[in-house]
Amino acid sequence: MKRLVLLALLVIVIGLAGCNDADVASSNLSVAADNFEISRRIVFYNGITGEYMLVIEGLCSLGNADPTGELSITCKTGAASYKKHFLGLSDNVTYFVEQMESAQANTYHYRVTLKPAVIIPDIRSDF
Domain boundaries, the chain: 21-119
CB–CB of 63/77 below 8 Å? no
Nearest-angstrom CA–CA distance, 32 and 100: 13
Q: Which helix (H) or strand (E) holds 14?
A: helix 2-17
pTM here is 0.68
Terminal-to-terminal C-alpha distance of the chain? 49
How much is the pLDDT for 31? Answer: 86
pLDDT of the chain, 127 residues: tens digit per residue = 566 555 555 555 555 555 788 888 888 888 889 989 999 999 999 999 999 999 999 999 999 889 998 999 999 999 999 999 999 999 999 999 999 888 887 777 766 766 666 666 667 666 6
